[in-house]
Structure 1
Amino acid sequence: MRWTWKGTVSAAAVAALGAGIAISPVFAAAKSAKATHAEASAAPAVIMAGKLYGNIPNVTIRGVAAGKAPWVVDGSYQLKSNLFTASGKWLIIPKQGYMDNGQPVPAKIGGTTNGIAEVGAEITFANASPIVLPPVKLDSQGDFSFHDAIQWPKGAAQPVVLIGPEKNGQLVAWFAASDFLADYGQATGSAWMPTAKPARPEHGAKAAVTRAHRGDAK
């Protein structure tokens, strides 16, 4: 019989099948890898992420006034087109600092949350109505955490994240915020726009409530 490499390969394949040995794991793995890559490509991209910073009294950001006392925080946030997450600790009034009237922080509220039990989050834009998220617990140590589905407004630009107490579905003051000065305070020649394509929230996820401000916050 004349030997050929094709015959050897065919014979090996037949033998493998006869022995019940699977010969397709490599192809299955390749297919699985492609599917994983496709799923990753379809996942919403991170639009923006960064640290949160405490407030400065007498500073108003997009209609929301800073708290009358200074606040500090160790926190961060992340924005996707369909998800907002943020967490922090030590969101408290420092023992040293000055109130909005120029007087030193009273000793009785320094190092505390001043009885604030909840804080909400607001994502404001340069050209769209803000997204206001339901409040979460602020414990006595100043810890908080957000994990909310959102619907990104079409064409919305220059988001600024604000954290503070809410009343009737509106933020009445901000205690912490994203670094809007670093984000937009440089001469880049063009307005910042998100590059990620907006996506709908996952099925069954809690939709964020979007409301416009009515007048200046106190």
Structure 2
Amino acid sequence: MRQGNWKHVLGAATAVAAASAIAVSPVFAAAKAPKASHGEASATSAVVMAGKLYGNIPNVVIRGVPAGKAPWVVDGSYQLKSNLFTASGKWLIIPKQGYMENGQPVPAKIGGTTNGITEVGAEITFANAAPIVLPPVKLDSQGDFSFHDAIQWPKGAAQPVVLIGPEKNGQLVAWFAASDFLADYGQATGSAWMNTVQPAKSAVAHAHASAKK
């Protein structure tokens, strides 16, 4: 191929790649940018937060809601918009191995089951606003469930945490699954600080040690 033709083909390929990036980037930005803010929802229905759901650990209370007395596992995810909450999961069950709230091993008769729980609700809690409690949905014997609910975001509400578990009288009485609030918020105030401060201290200590030699 002559040099001129090669440059022409390369130029055309670059243009196509650039056009593809322009077409994809707004979708990527819409999915990722709100994750960093973890704050108030905009007036639009942009994604505020989305991620995986994780099973509980007995004796852990999240914003006033205790964990179930048994450990639970789940394979699920959620998406939180300013006007819509969706979540789905499978295998929301008590594992065959693990420890109960009292420290005893999970009884064989409930391991690998939902322990007779047939419904779970969802609660979206906030650091500075009343929670949103959604009606319960069916939890089948395999631990499958699905939510698709319109919501109204409380004005000024920040730092949402999603909890899923049994309800009574319109209130979540325990959580079996939750969003990863430690990664969402703990890293911003704890681990991130350690990661930025500790290397600096180590570098200073290393400099002093070198000077003494």
1:35-74 deviation per Cα after TM superposition (whole angstroms, max 9, x unaligned): xxxxx9x951000000000000000000000000000000
1:62 aligns with 2:63: yes
> Secondary structure of 2:187's match?
coil
CA RMSD of aligned residues (A): 1.5
Within 5 Å, give how 1:1-150 maps onto structure 2.
44-150=45-151
- Structure 1 unpaired stretches of 5+: 1-39, 190-218
Letter of the structure 2 residue corresponding to residue 46 of structure 1:
V
Within 5 Å, give how 1:207-218 maps onto structure 2.
none
> Secondary structure of 2:156's match?
coil
Once residues 45 and 59 of structure 2 are traced to their aligned partners in structure 1, the CA distance between those partners, rounded to angstroms, is: 37
> Secondary structure of 1:186's match?
helix
Deviation at residue 122 of structure 1 after TM alignment: 0.1
Once residues 119 and 62 of structure 2 are traced to their aligned partners in structure 1, the CA distance between those partners, rounded to angstroms, is: 20
- After superposition, the Cα gap between the structure-2 partners of 1:93 and 1:157, relative to the gap in structure 1 and judged at 3 Å, is same
Letter of the structure 1 residue corresponding to residue 52 of structure 2:
K
Letter of the structure 2 residue corresponding to residue 106 of structure 1:
P
Once residues 166 and 117 of structure 1 are traced to their aligned partners in structure 2, the CA distance between those partners, rounded to angstroms, is: 11
Once residues 167 and 48 of structure 2 are traced to their aligned partners in structure 1, the CA distance between those partners, rounded to angstroms, is: 25
Letter of the structure 2 residue corresponding to residue 125 of structure 1:
F
> Secondary structure of 2:74's match?
strand
Once residues 91 and 132 of structure 1 are traced to their aligned partners in structure 2, the CA distance between those partners, rounded to angstroms, is: 19
State which structure, 1 or 2, has the greater radius of gyration over its C-alpha atoms. 1
> Secondary structure of 2:184's match?
helix
| Shift >4 Å, 4+ stretches | none
Deviation at residue 186 of structure 1 after TM alignment: 1.7
Letter of the structure 2 residue corresponding to residue 114 of structure 1:
N
TM-score, length of structure 2 as denominator length? 0.68
Cross-structure match for 2:162: 161
Once residues 87 and 148 of structure 1 are traced to their aligned partners in structure 2, the CA distance between those partners, rounded to angstroms, is: 12
Letter of the structure 2 residue corresponding to residue 63 of structure 1:
G
Contact map agreement 2:58 2:70 (CA 8 A) in 1: yes
Once residues 144 and 101 of structure 1 are traced to their aligned partners in structure 2, the CA distance between those partners, rounded to angstroms, is: 28
Deviation at residue 188 of structure 1 after TM alignment: 4.9
> Secondary structure of 2:70's match?
coil
> Secondary structure of 1:185's match?
helix
- Give 1 or 2: higher helix fraction: 2
> Secondary structure of 2:102's match?
coil
Once residues 44 and 63 of structure 2 are traced to their aligned partners in structure 1, the CA distance between those partners, rounded to angstroms, is: 31
1:172 aligns with 2:173: yes
Cross-structure match for 1:216: none
Q: Larger relative CO (CA 8 A, sep 6+): 1 or 2?
A: 1
> Secondary structure of 2:135's match?
strand
Once residues 169 and 188 of structure 2 are traced to their aligned partners in structure 1, the CA distance between those partners, rounded to angstroms, is: 38
- Structure 2 unpaired stretches of 5+: 1-29, 31-42, 191-213
Once residues 130 and 153 of structure 2 are traced to their aligned partners in structure 1, the CA distance between those partners, rounded to angstroms, is: 10
Once residues 186 and 90 of structure 1 are traced to their aligned partners in structure 2, the CA distance between those partners, rounded to angstroms, is: 28
Letter of the structure 1 residue corresponding to residue 123 of structure 2:
E
Once residues 101 and 164 of structure 2 are traced to their aligned partners in structure 1, the CA distance between those partners, rounded to angstroms, is: 18
